[in-house]
């Protein structure tokens, strides 16, 4: 009725089915862990992006302030050179008169 080869074939098929089922379940667990890890990495990258953004805004404002101070210094220098030129030209006129 049942040959030895049929019994061996049934045992091999059953063993392979069980083995492949276990491997499939393990792959599902591995993929879940990969998904959780990627979610954590994504959250860390979002947090890092927020931190760098919160640091970048004050630095940009500081750069604008530095530009404003430079402009003010240039304006003060220009006013100072204007008055010194006027004084020099008045002193030159007074020397010519004397």
**Which tens digit of pLDDT belongs to each residue from 77-92?**
888 777 777 666 666 6
Alpha-helical regions (H) of the chain = 4-97
pLDDT band at 51 (very low <50, low <70, confident <90, very high): confident
pLDDT band at 70 (very low <50, low <70, confident <90, very high): confident
pLDDT band at 16 (very low <50, low <70, confident <90, very high): very high
Average pLDDT of the chain, as a whole number: 85
- Between CA 8 and CA 16 the distance in angstroms is 12
Query: What's the pTM?
Result: 0.51
- Residue 56 corresponds to which tokens in the numbers above? 């970048």
Burial 50-87 (b: 16+ CB within 10 A, else e): eeeeeeeeeeeeeeeeeeeeeeeeeeeeeeeeeeeeee
């Amino acid at each position: 009725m049942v040959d030895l080869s049929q019994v061996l074939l049934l045992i091999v098929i059953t063993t392979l089915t069980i083995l492949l089922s276990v491997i499939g379940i393990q792959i599902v667990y591995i993929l879940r862990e990969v998904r959780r890890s990627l979610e954590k990495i994504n959250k860390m990258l979002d947090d890092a992006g927020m931190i760098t953004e919160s640091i970048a805004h004050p630095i940009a404002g500081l750069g604008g302030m530095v530009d404003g101070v430079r402009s003010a210094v240039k304006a003060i220098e220009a006013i100072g050179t204007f008055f010194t030129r006027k004084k020099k030209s008045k002193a030159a006129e007074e020397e010519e008169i004397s």
